[in-house]
Amino acid sequence: MQPKAFAFDKTAKRCHWLSFTSLENGVREKHDNAFILYEKKDYVQNCIIGKGATYKGNISVTKSGIECQAWNSTIPHEHSYRGKDLQRNYCRNPRGEEGGPWCFTSDPETRHEVCKIPLCSEVECMTCNGEGYRGPMDHTETGKECQRWDLQRPHRHPFRPEKYPDKGFDDNYCRNPDGKPRPWCYTLDPNTPWEFCSIKTCGQGEGYRGTVNTIWSGIECQRWDSQVPHQHNFTRENFKCKDLRENYCRNPDGAEVPWHLPIYKDLDISKVKKNYCRNPDDDAHGPWCYTSNPKMPWDYCRISRCDNDPVSMMSSLDIPIIPCASTKHLRVVNGIPTQPDKGWMVSLKDRGRHFCGGSLVKEDWVLTAKQCFLSRYLFHFLQDLLAGSHLLQHNLKDYQAWLGIHNVERAHEEKHKQVLNISQLVYGPEGSDIVLLKLSRPAVSNNAVAIIRLPISGCTIPDGITCSVYGWGHTGSK
């Protein structure tokens, strides 16, 4: 049987080949510092390239939710398909047909059906030229497989992961470290040094060209070609393709909070016309504009979604739940070190610095405290103010979620770390102190990363029960 992974024994310095991966049914994971698990990406990647002819993942249900029939079975449907990659009942595309991977179904009334497996180019979209793209696309637009960033063959290059730790040089995924028009990679073809990758562009109202020119509170927008009452660098000369005409709402920088220092001048700007809303920088919340209120530099515009626009602010969360659990440890005033298997603990970093913790509640969602982000904005605002800056450019691109780590101060050295960007921030209801963070791509479950187990709805905890609280810090701290 073809190996799918291997475990490296650090003590004996030997490799043990494995015919299965950590994602297969029946496999039990055990954390052991003496071994390092390496898995072949083809067998753990749950997205497809092109028609998915090379897909070897373990998805085994169709797009309508029907369980697949095993390939070595002729019940309930007879067939003649054979092949070494037609294992168990996993979705496959053995003949490279249109539509992607499929399977015979376990429903006698439905012979076969395609499976719902996303394209790697659409798992994570890119904004602008994709410098912040951290998705799993690993083939070029012509279908060539990418060269790993930590290898120097067949093409030598200067982009070493250890030299540029913030560029996302994971594996052989497409990236844009040098400001090219879009993400690219070196290829495995000796005759083709590099090529661009085909990655979906995010659709967040960047194509809006309407004439809305007021924010939610009714305040008129400031003209883009004016520097009063607010100074900015978002001019038509700097953003030639963003339609920054008049004062229409636009979105040139992906900001999540006001990002520049307002400069007050007592001016009569009531006669300013044609100040329309626009979204030139793909802001996740839609078109915006500068306002004519010196105390409110900019705001979003009240524009309804088109009737045929399927995009929603937040999909429902299918969170795994279990009954209430009892604690295993008594309370210790100054805390005790946790075991490395608390894979749901997340370190949130702002510009590379840890500032808050969180919990992984779904593969692509992290729960944290609202106060973490309110205080971060104030910090950056004051920091830029003291530095004499009149432009505060602070947005979600500065934030990262670190998973699979045990020591935030030495996180870069940890083997199982996963560093994911944050693509969306959803505040909890009024009066709450929670925020949900949407990760740019799903975290990969393994020995060091796992979803937290939550109690079922309606579960009650009696008074007097001792609970454990997990967090980041030193056990000697008060």
Find the CATH number of the domain harbouring 421: 2.40.10.10
| Burial of residue 335 (number of CB atoms within 10 Å: 0-12, 13-18, 19+) | middle
Q: With pLDDT > 70 as the criterion, what percentage of the chain qualifies? A: 72
Q: What angle is formed at CA 305 by the lines to CA 301 and CA 310, rounded to 5 degrees?
A: 140
Higher pLDDT: 309 or 424? It is 424
Share of the chain above pLDDT 90, in %: 28
Nearest to 114 by CA among 98, 130, 138, 134: 98
**Any domain includes 217:** no
SS (H, E, C) 353-415: EEEEEEEEEECCEEEEEHHHHHHHHHHHHHHHHHCCCCCCCCEHHHEEEEECCCCHHHHHHCC
CB-count exposure of residue 105 (10 Å: 0-12, 13-18, 19+): buried
Asked whether residue 197 is domain-assigned, the answer is no
How far apart are the C-alpha atoms of 150 and 156, rounded to whole Å? Answer: 10
Domain contains 406: yes
- Residue 410 within a domain: yes
**Assigned domain for 361 exists:** yes
Number of domains making up the chain: 2
Domain limits at 409?
A: 338-382+395-457
What does the angle CA 202 – CA 207 – CA 210 come to, to the nearest 5 degrees?
A: 145
In 3D, which of 359, 361, 396, 391 has the Cα closest to residue 376? 396
Query: Quick check: is 174 in a domain?
Result: no
pLDDT (tens digit per residue) in 388-421: 433 333 457 778 999 999 887 778 778 888 999 9
Predicted local distance difference test score (pLDDT) of residue 469? 81
For the segment 172-214, what is each residue's pLDDT rounded down to a tens digit?
999 999 988 889 999 999 999 999 998 887 765 565 566 667 6
- Look at residue 156 and tell me if it is in a domain: no
- What is d(CA 423, CA 366) in angstroms, rounded to the nearest whole number? 11
* SS3 sequence of 24-62: CCCCCCCCCCCEEEEECHHHHCCCECCCCCCCCCCCCEC
User: What pTM did the predictor assign?
Assistant: 0.40
* Residue 147 maps to a domain: no
Mean of the per-residue pLDDT values of the chain: 76
- For tokens 């169709």, name the residue: 62
